[in-house]
Structure 1
Amino acid sequence: MSTIPEQNLPPPAPAQKPATRRPTTRNILYIIVMNVIGATILDAGINLGIAAAMYTNAYPVRVWEFPNTMAGDAAVTVFIQGILTWVISGMLTSRDLRLAAFGISPIRAPRSIREGPRIVQWFFGGNLDILERRIGHSERLRRLVSSIVHGVIYSIAIFFIAWPIGVGILAATAGPGGFIAGWPTAAYFKAAFGGGMGFWQTPIIVVIAMMRKGWPERDEYEARKIADKIKHKQGQQTVVNAPVASDRLPPVSV
């Protein structure tokens, strides 16, 4: 996909600030305070509450064996938390950027992404702004589905990093046969595991959302694709609704 010179790019939305090539001080504070510290506390608290409901009366709790397997719990946590974080954090960050909340600015996507392989452009180019008011229901649904798909792919990638580390530490500290003392040990692990994931995965998604808002060529590309689909659909309807010549000859008067 060819790129458009920066001087010819369309102006940003009225409230949205122009994209910067590097994160501003406000961007850094936004990432650290809200999406590192805040996300860690929030994710740890949510996982602690879920673990309290799951493991308070559960016995025995083991690393590998069902029904109360912490390894399986951690695997499910990676995917559920990864998808929800991609959708929610991407959505809220996009909204804050569009409204210039907290004074944050989009970040200009690097050339390696803007002009990279199609798969790279697709992964970083998904529109995360699900809350944008001017879009219709079909476009909002498309963005939501796209965010979920991106979240699944992202979760698969982080699974091979977070899950072996977390379960490896748990297995090393467990008792004979992978036995864990149940509540509150299992809850502490789940809280630490979920909080640790929030600590490092949330800021990555926030930075991706900032770069996506600083990539107006992608908006033009998506707008052209939508326009082409509409034209193609209208063309098909025109062909279907076109008058068809009758196979019968008109009666001949004698």
Structure 2
Amino acid sequence: MFWSRAQLQTQAGASPADLEQGASPSPRRGSQLDGDIPVRRGRGAEARSADKPASGGNVDEGGRLEPSEKLTRHQLFYVLVLDGFGGMVLSGGVNFALAYVMYTTQDTVKSPIRLFQLPNTLAGDAAVTIIVQCILTWFVEKGLVAYDLSRRSVQPIGFIPKPTLPWQRRLFFLPASDTDIEDRPPSGIAAIIQQALRGFLLAVVGFVLLWPAGVGILTALGEPAGGDYTYADRWTPQIFKLILGGVLGLLTTPLMAAFWLIKAGWEGKSQRTVKA
């Protein structure tokens, strides 16, 4: 009896010390017992809202933000600015540095820099650059996008429907149909080859778009000699590689980032469907 009465008096506003001295409780404003319940619930709601990600999106079971239902401004900034212009600057700078080392540290009198003839062929260098850059960038973007998704720095793209054509589903590492159980992803050398093939496909597109135009520009900048064109060891080769690498990075890097964001959106929606 005493303990029940003490609980009621304490909840009504009296401290335990007042109860021992027999003091009457001092009521608080609006301190009815029933009135305290919504206050405690309100604090719980605030605590739950504080646990939400700063970006405002919900989190799926994999720790990623839930897929977006439309293309957000942050996704555009991520794909076009961070990946597009960032890839352009980085790729152009790396190609410029490599070309400077490659063409200024050898005897160009003995082995002139030509457009087509080996050993120093700018046309061949451009073709190799397109292939190698696309494959390497594919692996880099795969890792960077996966890291940013795990850190909740960007939302997966969730408004694009899954492809239905078999070749499109194979391209995105999807099973033949939505009713099929997804196979275990390949590991080891097989996984590396599968990923490299995707990068090579973009290299083919980049080659068709950039290589003929690049060769055409180089013919206008070179000195005709022996049925070919020759160039000084600086600065035509370096600037050519700078522009080629930069434009290639600007065109292909956003496509690679979008590829992984879209695939992550499908994976997030599949998890929600299974959970439901």
What TM-score, normalized to structure 1? 0.69
Query: 1:99-144, CA deviations, whole angstroms, 9 ceiling, x for partnerless residues?
Result: 212xx11012633xx2321111111237xxxxxxxxx997466543
Q: 2:160 is matched with which residue: 105, 110, 125?
A: 110
* CA radius of gyration, larger in: 2
Indicate which of 72, 79, 101 corresponds to 1:24. Answer: 72
Change (3 A) 1:105 1:150: same
Post-superposition CA distance 1:72-110 (Å, at most 9, x none) = 000000110010111111221122123212xx1101263
Give the match for residue 249 of structure 1.
Answer: none
How many aligned residue pairs are there? 197
CA distance in 1: counterparts of 2:149 and 2:240, whole angstroms = 35
Aligned-residue Cα RMSD (Å) equals 2.6
Q: In 1, Cα distance between the equivalents of 2:214 and 2:145?
A: 28
Equivalent residues of 1:51, 1:187 under 8 A apart? yes
Conserved? CA contact 1:106–1:210, under 8 Å: yes
Comparing 142-151 with 28-37, greater Cα deviation is found at 142-151
Moved more, 74-83 or 116-125: 116-125
- Rounded to whole Å, the distance in 2 between the matches of 1:91 and 1:14 is 16
Equivalent-residue separation in structure 1 for 2:254 and 2:240 (angstroms): 22
Q: Which residue of 2 aligns with 1:146?
A: 194
Q: Does 1:192 align with 2:243?
A: yes
What's the CA shift for 1:209? 1.0
Q: Indicate the structure with greater helix content.
A: 1
Judged with a 3 Å threshold, the aligned counterparts in structure 2 of structure 1 residues 89 and 37 are, in CA distance, closer, same or farther, namely: same
Is 1:89 aligned to 2:141, yes or no? yes
> What is the deviation of 1:218?
9.7
Find out whether 1:75 has 2:75 as its counterpart: no
With over 3 angstroms needed to count, the CA separation of the structure-2 counterparts of 1:109 and 1:123, relative to structure 1, is farther
Higher relative contact order (CA 8 A, sep 6+): 1
Superposed displacement of residue 63, structure 1: 1.1
* Unaligned 5+ runs, structure 1: 1-10, 127-135, 221-254
* TM-score for the superposition, normalised by structure 2: 0.64
Equivalent residue number for residue 212 of structure 2: 164
SS in 1 for 2:67: coil
Is 2:240 the counterpart of 1:182?
no
State the Cα distance separating 1:178 from its structure 2 match.
1.4
| Aligned counterparts, 1:1-254, within 5 A | 12-56=60-104, 57-59=106-108, 60-101=112-153, 104-108=154-158, 110-111=160-161, 114-125=162-173, 139=187, 142-176=190-224, 177-216=228-267
Residue 40 of structure 1 aligns to which amino acid in structure 2? M
- Looking at structure 2, the residues matched to 86 and 192 of structure 1 have their Cα atoms a distance apart, in angstroms, of 20
Distance 2:168 2:157 in 1: 17
Identity of aligned residues (%): 28
Query: Match for 2:150: what amino acid?
Result: R
Distance 1:52 1:219, change over 3 A: farther
Shift of 1:168: 1.9
How far is the alpha carbon of 1:162 from its aligned partner? 1.9
**Distance change (3 Å), C-alpha of 1:119 and 1:110:** same
- Measured in 2, the distance between the counterparts of 1:175 and 1:109 equals 53
Moved more, 197-206 or 211-220: 211-220
* Distance of aligned partners of 1:18 and 1:170 in 2 relative to their CA distance in 1, 3 Å threshold: same
Preserved CA contact (<8 Å) 2:149 2:156: yes
CA contact 1:125–1:218 (8 Å) conserved in 2: no
**Unmatched 5+ stretches in structure 2:** 1-58, 175-183, 272-276
How far apart in 1 are the matches of 2:94 and 2:141? 16
